[in-house]
Every structure is written in C-alpha cells, then in structure tokens.
Amino acid sequence: MCGIAGFSGQQFDRSGLDRMVDAMLHRGPDDRGVAYFGSEGLGFRRLSIVDIAGGHQPMSGEDDRVVAVVNGEIYNYRALRQELSAKGHVFRSQSDAEVVPHLYEEGGIDALAQKLRGMFALAVLDRRTGTMHLMRDHFGIKPLYYMVCGQGLYFASDIRGLLASGQIVAEVNPTSFWHYLTFQYVPDPYTMFAGVFKLPPAHYLTWRGHHVELTRYWDLAFKPREDISQSDLQEAIYAVLEESVQRHRMSDVPLGAYLSSGIDSSAVAAFLRQHQTLDTFSIGFGEHHGEVDELAPARETARLLNTRHHEVRITAEEYRDNLEDIIAAQEDPVADPSAPALYFLAREARRHVTVVLSGEGADELFAGYPIYAEPAALRPFEYLPGGIRRALGRAAVNLPPQLKGRGYLMRGSQPLEERYVGNAKIFMENEKAELAPWVPESAREPYWAVTRPFFEAARDLDPIAQMQTLDGYTWLPGDILMKADKMSMAHSLELRVPFLDLAVFELAATIPARMKVGQGTTKLALRQAMAQILPAQVARRPKLGFPIPIRHWLKRELYDFARDLLVAENTPYYEPRAVQSLLNAPEHTMFNQDRKIWTLLVFALWHRRVAEPAAVVSGSERGHI
C-alpha cells in the first residue's frame, strides 16, 4: 500500500514534488522515493506489506526507460512474474509492484489492462515515447486524482498531494456541489475542487504532447443466466470466494478482519479462520436509542469462529470531537454517517494489525441492499395505465410527508430510472434551488445526467440488475470504496475487499434475479452458498449496515453543534432559513431530514477544514464560490 504522485509535461520545482509526496505520509510512513527525468517526475510513499526489505519505488524494467509507481496490491503477481521471467525479464525484488514496468515493456498499457488482477492505482512513464500513463483498478478500490495546469499534468493518490503542489486555485466546483446535494458524494469524474478530477475506475489516462486521453478498458456488465442451477451456483460461489480470500491473504505483516453482524464480513472472516488465527474488529455507538446494535451479534459470530475479537463503542461526544479530523481525512466530502464509524474502527484495528479484510462490494455484486426488493413490491403498478400511475403520484405529493404509504405511491408512479439514483437521494432538484440559489443555472446539471448513461447501458436487464449496474458505477466507487480507503489510510491501515475480485464479479454477474432477492431476504444466492461455512443463524441474519443513531443525536447531543455550524456561522453556501427549518423539524419526521442535515454539516466542516486552508495556500480570493 502506497501513495503515488508525479508530474509530466513541464519543468517543476523539485521541492514541489517532495511536498506532494510528504503530504501523503499517512499513506506510506515506511519509505519514500522520488525520481526526476527532466520535465517528468515520479514520487512514492510506502506502507510495507509485501517484500518488506525490498519494494522501493519508483521501479524500472530492464533499464530506466520504463519507470512506474504503484499503489495497492497485484494479487496475481506471482503468475505474471513467472510468465515474464520465462520471456527473459530479470527481477530485482520480490515486490508485486515490479511486475508493472516489465509487463508494460512486454505489451504496453493494454497488457496492464488485460492482465492485472488486484486493487491498484499506478503511473507508468514511458521515456521512449514521452508518454505518461495513469491507471485505476476495475472497481475503483484505490483512488487517483489528476489536474492539468498550464502545459503540465499533475497526479496524486490524495487531493492533499495535489494541493501541496501549489498549482491549485482552490475553488469549489458548483456542479460538484449541486450533485453532492443529491448523491451525498461527488460523482466521478468530478471532485469538489474545480479543475481536480478523479480518474474513473477501469480507465487509463494517456498524457502525450500536453493532451489528456481517457480510455475505458473494462465494463461492469451484469449478464444474468436463467439456465444455472441453484446447487451449481452455490458450489461456484463458495469456490470463487474461497480462492479470492486466499489471494487476499498475501502479506508479510499481521492481518485481521472487520466483523459486523452481516454475512459479508462473516464469510470473509470464516474463510480466513480456516488458515490462521485471526483478530476481528467491531464497532457500536453509545446508547441504543432504539437503533439495532451490531456488537452483540458480531460478538456471537466471533465466538463461533473462535477469533480474537476487539470491540469499539463510540459516544456522541467522541463522534463530534473527532468529526472535523474525519472530514479532513476524507479530502472530498462524503456524507455517509457510517464513514466516521470506519475511522474509529480502523484506528482500533491499526493497534493490532497492518492489513484488514472487509466485506465491501458484496451488496452491489450479490444484491444485498433492501431497496433491491422494491421492484417486486412495486409490481402492481405495472398493471395500471400510465395516466393513472402519474395521477397517483401527483396526489401523493400533496399528502403529509410522514403519512404511511405516501412514498410507496410516489415511487410506484415513477419509472425506475427516475425514482432510483442509488442508495442515497438527499435533496430534490427544487429543494436544491431553494437551499443554494448561488449555484448558476449553467452549473445545475440534473442528477440524471450522471445516472442515465448507466441505465441505458443496462436497459435490456431486469430491474435488479439495472440497479446493481448503476450502483456499481456510482455508489460503489463514490461512497463505499472512497470512505473505506480514506478512513483506513488515515491510520496507515491497508484495507482489502475480496468480494471485489474479477473472478467473483464474473460469477456474481450471472446470477438471475430470482436467486438474488426472495424468501424475505436479500443476497439469497450468497446466503445459500455461505451456509456451508457459516452457522445457520449467521447466514440468515438480515443486513443492518452501520446502525448509527444520527437521527437521535441531531435532535439532542449534536443539535447545538449542527446549529452553530450551519446557522450561526452563516455559510455562504446555504440559505439560513432553509437550514433552520430542517433543524426545527419534529423528530418523528426526521426519517429524511436527518440525512439532509448531515449532508450540509459534512460539507460545512469540509469547507472549514479543507477548502478554506487550501484557498489561503493557493492565494485564491474566491475560495468559497
């Protein structure tokens, strides 16, 4: 695990690249490396995981004409190394990263796209052709940011690395802000900073002659098969997950696992426990306040698996007191209330291990979110004429928000591509206009500009597969994987996600809808397969997520904190009256309001802790708009 940085295309002060690298100390406290080649430079920070004695980067191939820096892990590196050695390539270390420059020498950027299996963000400088390539893994597990300033390309694993370059004019991108109010994160390729972009998952960037070209090298395509039997599917799922977890054990340092109450992390822990003693980690929050607590069922799972189990319980006060540091670690605001939970969990895990495995990605691949059951629930609307459906929707809008059944009528009256934008839809378009009138009309890109291309790509699939496709392209990299990476790396902890393996996805993509959701549960095929390794009560346990009592806290322990930040400080981004009305909403209506308040709160903290200091450093006079 590392942080990478670099530039290409124009002369750059050497101290600038040093600053970029040193700004990412948390991503790699064990080693650093910087190499300059005239108008190009590559930098590296290392968290030593594999080949602790070796593995120094940047790395070159047979000579220094092809040089690379790699963040992440290449899980099939041994097979690639054997293949390349047979072709005459000579390796100087045991590092998985060293296969990258040699593989590039053998077949160029397309060879990397076709053969690498793992989580990675990398840069390859081809000095023979004057080309810089950036590449991000298939699912977007590891982040990579870039910007073009003048005649130069700059990139880094963290936005703070780019900020340290001194090349950014730190201004908020109004289109990013507009989308953030809908999705609770900034969708690819934007970031909240104008001019700074995320390299999307499954893409590589080619920089040659002061020009950026993006190429998608892989598609996240679901291909359900109706001819697959339940027994064959169960055996295949078990085998492919067992193999993936085994690959993800690759480590020369202590390794553990997150353990929630759900089947995803429980399955990963069970496979790990077959091969080693295991430290597992769970989190809970203060008093329950009517929320379901994951600690008790996780503790029971740990007992059944015989792991060394560690628990963390966080109070509202600890949550509040650490929140600003947590938001700063995000770099780009992600208003998922569970992100701070991962921060505290990673902090505890790092006291015991350097690597953890987790269950991220299982919900998107195996249809684990409760919302995936909605198409079946709304099926009666399919038998109604379109005019009647629309009339019901118009009537529902005028009903009291808390009235039971209102949401069902509203959602049933809409086609899937209109009602579903992912696992979070925070503010409606009219609400955003009232809340943030400063955003110019030209920047008010509608939410469907983000989602429609993915629905169109999946238009021939069943509704569940369409929803999975959208989530795989948007929610997974934008929310789930972004918070997982940022919260773990804040503590120099490597987090691995064995569900997001190419072989696992290729199998999961074939599961038909009837084997995904049914019998009153989600992830049906996965649960049936994992019954071979998990106790029955664990395999059947419903999904809880991170049950964080945000709704309760925002009305009690965190109310003054939120009011002071959002109203008293009078941020120029929000209309104070609109914010105050959210804060004053009765608690029984907080089923939507709490997420709205939280989204505004996270942005305000991000702006105070990240954007405003960046604006001072960059000399921007318009850092807030």
Backbone angles phi, psi at 438, to 5 degrees: -70, -25
Question: Domain 230-368+479-539 belongs to what topology?
Answer: Rossmann fold (3.40.50)
**CA-CA distance, 597 to 579, in Å (whole number)?**
8
Q: Cβ–Cβ contacts within 10 Å for residue 622, how many? A: 11
Q: How far is CA 234 from CA 268, 516, 520, 523, 526, in A?
A: 16, 12, 19, 12, 7
pLDDT recorded at residue 369: 94
| Cβ–Cβ < 8 Å for 188, 200 | yes
pLDDT of 152 higher than 60: yes
User: 191 falls in which pLDDT band (50, 70, 90)?
Assistant: very high
pLDDT recorded at residue 618: 57
Compute the average pLDDT of residues 12-18. 88
Q: What one-character-per-residue DSSP string does 87-98 give?
A: TT---SS--GGG
User: 479 falls in which pLDDT band (50, 70, 90)?
Assistant: very high
Task: Count, in order, helices (H) and strands (E) of the chain.
Answer: 28, 17
**CA-CA distance, 213 to 208, in Å (whole number)?**
9
- Domain(s) labelled CATH 3.60.20.10 in the chain stretch across 2-216
Q: What one-character-per-residue DSSP string does 402-450 give?
A: TSTTHHHHHHHTS-HHHH-SSS---S-HHHHHHH-TTS-GGG---THHH
pLDDT of 221 higher than 80: yes
What does pLDDT average to over the chain? 91
**Percent of the chain beyond pLDDT 70?**
95
What number of CA atoms fall less than 13 Å from residue 434's CA on the CB side? 11
pLDDT recorded at residue 474: 97
By DSSP bridging, strand 40-46 and strand 31-37 are antiparallel
Looking at 9-65, which runs of residues are DSSP E strands?
31-37, 40-46, 59-60
pLDDT recorded at residue 621: 40
Q: How far is CA 497 from CA 23, 33, 78, 543, in A?
A: 26, 27, 19, 18
**CA-CA distance, 91 to 107, in Å (whole number)?**
17
Looking at 1, 2, 80, 461, which residue is catalytic? 2
Q: Which residue has the tokens 């998107």?
A: 364
Residue with the larger pLDDT of the pair 588 and 90: 90
User: 439 falls in which pLDDT band (50, 70, 90)?
Assistant: very high
Maximum separation of any 2 CA atoms in the chain, in Å: 73
Helix (H, G, I), strand (E, B) or coil at 496: strand
User: 291 falls in which pLDDT band (50, 70, 90)?
Assistant: low
pLDDT recorded at residue 591: 55
Residue range 368-421, pLDDT digits in tens: 999 999 999 888 888 888 788 888 888 888 888 777 888 888 888 889 999 999
Q: State yes or no: is 2 an active-site residue.
A: yes
pLDDT recorded at residue 407: 82
pLDDT of 30 higher than 80: yes
Residue range 67-113, pLDDT digits in tens: 999 999 999 999 999 999 999 999 999 999 999 999 999 999 999 99
pLDDT of 290 higher than 60: no
pLDDT recorded at residue 485: 97
Backbone angles phi, psi at 289, to 5 degrees: 55, 35
**CA-CA distance, 532 to 261, in Å (whole number)?**
18
Give the 3-state secondary structure of 156-203: ECCHHHHHCCCCCCCCECHHHHHHHHHHCCCCCCECCECCCEECCCCE
pLDDT of 625 higher than 50: no
pLDDT recorded at residue 53: 78
What number of CA atoms fall less than 13 Å from residue 389's CA on the CB side? 14
pLDDT of 547 higher than 80: no
pLDDT recorded at residue 405: 82
pLDDT recorded at residue 622: 34
DSSP H helices, 14-164, are: 14-22, 77-86, 99-115, 159-163
Stated pTM of the model = 0.94
Structural tokens at position 322 = 């650490």
Residue with the larger pLDDT of the pair 581 and 545: 581
pLDDT recorded at residue 538: 85
Residue range 443-458, pLDDT digits in tens: 999 999 999 999 999 9
By DSSP bridging, strand 145-149 and strand 197-198 are antiparallel
pLDDT recorded at residue 176: 97
pLDDT recorded at residue 357: 98
pLDDT recorded at residue 58: 96
pLDDT recorded at residue 617: 55
Compute the average pLDDT of residues 331-338. 95
- Domain(s) labelled CATH 3.40.50.620 in the chain stretch across 230-368+479-539
**CA-CA distance, 175 to 190, in Å (whole number)?**
9
pLDDT of 167 higher than 90: no
Closest by CA position to 358, among listed 546, 584, 189, 532: 546
pLDDT recorded at residue 108: 96
- B/e letters for 583-613, b = 16+ CB within 10 Å, e = fewer, are bebeeeebebbbbbbbbbbbbbbbbbbbbee
pLDDT of 589 higher than 70: no
DSSP H helices, 215-333, are: 230-248, 263-273, 295-305, 316-330
Angle between helices 590-606 and 316-330 (to 10 degrees): 50
Q: Cβ–Cβ contacts within 10 Å for residue 452, how many? A: 14
DSSP 8-class letter at 562: H
pLDDT recorded at residue 194: 95
User: 570 falls in which pLDDT band (50, 70, 90)?
Assistant: low
Residue with the larger pLDDT of the pair 610 and 623: 610
Q: Which CATH class is domain 2-216?
A: alpha beta
Closest by CA position to 524, among listed 233, 223, 225, 226: 233
User: 554 falls in which pLDDT band (50, 70, 90)?
Assistant: confident
